[in-house]
Amino acid sequence: MKLLIVESPAKAKTIEKYLDNEFTVRASVGHIRDLPKSSKNAIDIEGGFIPRYVISPGKEKVVADLKALAKKATDVVLATDPDREGEAIAWHIKEAMNLKKPKRIVFHEITREAVQEAMKHPRLIDENLRSAQEARRVLDRLFGYDLSALIWQKVRYGLSAGRVQSPALRLLVEREKEIRAFIPEKYWVIEALLETQNKKEVNFTCSIEPKTEAEAETIVNEAKKSVWQIGAVDASNAVRRAKAPFTTSTLQQAASSRLGYSPSVTMRLAQKLYEAGHITYMRTDSTNLSQQALGEIASVVKKQYGDKYSKPQQFATKSKNAQEAHEAVRPTHASIFSAGHGPQEQKLYKLIWQRAVASQMADAELLKTKIVAVASVKSVPEFTANGQQIVFDGWLVADPTARSEDVELPKVKTGDPLELKNIFSTGKATEPPHRYSEAGLVKELEKRGIGRPSTYASIIKTIIDRDYVEKIDRALKPTEIGELISDFLSEHFGSYISDTFTAEMEDELDDIALGKRDYVKTLKEFYGPFTKAVASKKKIDKITNLGEAPKDIKCPLCDGPMVIKLARTGKFYSCAKFPDCVGARTIDGEVLEGPKETGELCPKCKDGKLVERDGKYGRFVACSNYPKCKYIKKDAVIDGQEKAGDTGIKCNLCHQGTMTEKRGRFGVFYGCSNYPDCKNIIKSKPTGQICPQCGSLMMEGTKTIPKRCSNKNCPNNRPDRETKK
C-alpha cells in the first residue's frame, strides 16, 4: 500500500479518483501541530528561537490514524498546498509521524493531468520555505505575546496586538481621524440644458466651480442673457485594455465590490472550488498563465466570439517576490463555463472565468466626444458635455459587468446655434475621504507591503472579531476600543507598527524562503531591540481613565464628578470616587446598573467591598478592588437569576456545578455554575443525555436534528453531514 497525505478531506476525495487506486489518500485536516496556547515556554529563545510544538487539540486521533497507515505503507507522499503554509504542514506531518525522507509533491491545480505529472517529480521538503513559515509563526507569537501582556497591564485585560493586524488597524484609525478633522468647503455646480438645431437636448456642465453662491448666480443670470453656440467639437479614439487574471488580492477586491463577499468568504469559496478541481491554487501573487492555459483560452475565445477577439498575452507580475512557477487564479478548464456547488461558488467561479478569459482578448475600442458650448457674454465660462460610445466591445463581451454605459451626443459642428432651455446652480460641499471598504483595505495593504496574499483575509477577520473594527454597510470603522489600542501602540511602539518595519519584515521572511537569509539571525535582530522597547514602557502609567466627563454629567449615586473609562463594550462615565462609589452612566448619559454593592466585605483582601458585576458569562459577585484583588464569590445567587436559569443538569467536566442559562454578547448560552473554576460552556440547552460517542453533553438542536452533541469535533454534532455525503 502507498499513502498520500493532503490537508483537506475534500481535496483527498478529488485526488483519490485520479490515482487509479494506486494510493490510499488521507487528510491531516489542516495543521496537526502548533505552538501551545498562552505558554511563556512555547519558544526556546536562548536555544535559538526553537519552537516547542504540541499536537493540536482534537488532532490526536488524526495523527494516530496516519501513523498506523504509514507503518503499513511502502511509500509515503506528502501533497499539501504549494506554498509556505503547505510546506510547513508537510514538515509537521513528517515530524509527528517520525518519517525519515518522505516524498513531497506540489501541483497548482487538482486535475488528473496536474496530479499525475506531479507524481513524476517528487522532491524533499523545502527547508527554506518551512523555515520562513516557522519564522512568521514565531515572530507573530513573540510580538503578540509580549505586547499584549503590556497592554493588559497598561490599558485593559483581554486586549491584544498583532504584528500585521495592528498596522492594518492603524490605517483605519488614521483614516477615521482624517474624516473627523475634515473641514468641508462649499462650491457650486452649474448645469445648463441646451437644445441643438435638430431639437436634441444636451446637458452641459460649467467648466469652473464657483466658490460662492453670489458667483454662481452671476454666471446663471449672465448665461440667461446670452446667445449660445457650439464652440468646439473634439472626437478621439481610445482603448480599454483587459486587466490581468486574478491574484489573491485582486480576486478579493473584485469579489467584494461586485459580489459583496468579504475576503474571508471569498477565500473559503475559492478553497472549495480549488479542492473540487475547478480553479488553480487561490493563494498567489503571480499573474502568469501557463502555455497550456493560454492555448486553451485562445481556443475558447475563437470558438465563442471569433478570431478578431483573440489576443493571447502575458501580464507582468508587480510583486517582486512572486514565484513565476505559480499561476494566476484561473479556471482549470476554460471550456467549462459554470462550476461550483451552490450559487455563491458559481458566482465566484463565473467571476474568475470572466477575468481569465477576458485577459486574453482584444482591447475594447471607444469613441470619446467632447462638445464645448460658448455664450455671447464673455464673462460666462465655457460649458462642456462628454460622450462615449463603444465601437468594438473586445474583451467586454466576455465580462459585460465591466462595461460602462454609453453616452451618445448628437452630431454637431463648430458654430451651430444652441438654445438655452434651462440653467441652474447646485450648492455642494467637498466630502471627507471615504472609510476603507474591505476591498480598499486589501488594496492598501498590498500597496504598502503589509502582509502577503494568504494573510489579507485573516487580518481583516481578526480585527473585526476582536471588536477593534465594525462593518457599517461595506465600510470598516474602528471602534472606540480599536482607536484606543491603536493610539497606545502608535505613541509607544510607532516604529513597530509602521509601514516600513512591517514591509521590511515581510521582505526578510521572503528572503528566508529563498534561502538568502538566516532564521536565527533574523529573529535575533528583531527580538533584542523589541524586548528592550517593551521593557522600557513598563514604567508608564496605567490608563485608568480617558479624561474628565463634561461638567454637567454628574454621578447618579453621589452627584459627584465623573470620568471617562473604557469597558469591554466601549467608553462609559464612571464616578471619579470609584471604588468608594460605583455610580456609572452610558456616554449618552443614561444611568448604568453597573456594579451593585452587596454590603459584604471581601474575605480575601479585607479592604474591598463585594459588588455584583457583568462578565463574559453573566453577572457575578467579586471584589471591588479588582484587578489588585481577584476574589470571586462562588455559588452567589444574583436577583434569583442563577436559580431561575439553572437547568439542574450536572456539568460533565467538573461534576460539581450545574449547567445554567447565561447571556453573553452573542446571546443565550449555557455554562457551568462552578465558573470560574470550571469554564464549560455549550451553545444550546442541554438535554441531560450524554453523547455515547465522546462523553460530552447532548444539547437541543433544530427541527431536522432535534438533539446533537455539544462537542463540535464529534460526528454527533452534525449527524446530517455524513448523510449528505
The set of catalytic residues is: 281
3 vs 70: CA distance, rounded Å: 7
CA 91 to CA 126: how far, in whole Å?
Answer: 9
Which residue, among 138, 176, 107, 151, has the nearest Cα to 44 in the 3D structure? 138
The DSSP letter of residue 309 is: G
Q: Which DSSP category does 258 fall into?
A: I
Length of the chain: 725
| Number of other residues whose CB lies within 10 A of the CB of residue 421 | 11
Contact 622, 604 (CB under 8 A): no
Is residue 257 within 8 A of residue 251, CB to CB? The reply is no
Classify 317 as helix, strand or coil.
Answer: coil
DSSP-assigned letter for residue 395: G
Q: Look at strands 383-392 and 658-664 and give their pairing.
A: unpaired
Helix, strand, or coil (residue 3): strand
Give CA 643 to chain center in angstroms: 41
Q: How many CA atoms lie within 13 A of 630 on its CB side?
A: 4
Q: Which set of grid coordinates corresponds to residue 541?
A: 502609567
Can you read off the three cell numbers belonging to residue 523? Answer: 529573529
Within 13 Å of residue 329, how many CA atoms lie on the same side as its CB? 29
Contacts of 51 (CB under 8 A, 6+ apart): 35, 42, 43, 44, 134, 137, 138
The residues, ordered by sequence, that sit 6+ positions from 433 with a Cβ below 8 Å of its Cβ are 175, 178, 179, 182
> Residue 289's closest CA among 259, 324, 318, 339?
324
How many helices (H) does the chain have, and how many strands (E)?
18, 29
The CA R_g of the chain, rounded to the nearest whole Å, is 32
The SS3 assignment for 196 reads coil
All 3 cell numbers of residue 128? 527554506
- From residue 706, how far is each of 425, 651, 700, 724, 725 by CA, in Å? 65, 21, 6, 17, 20
Task: Tell me how far the alpha carbon of residue 3 is from its chain's centroid.
Answer: 36
First to last CA, the chain: 26
CA neighbours closer than 13 Å in the CB half-sphere of residue 262: 16
* Residue 126: φ, ψ to 5°: -80, 105
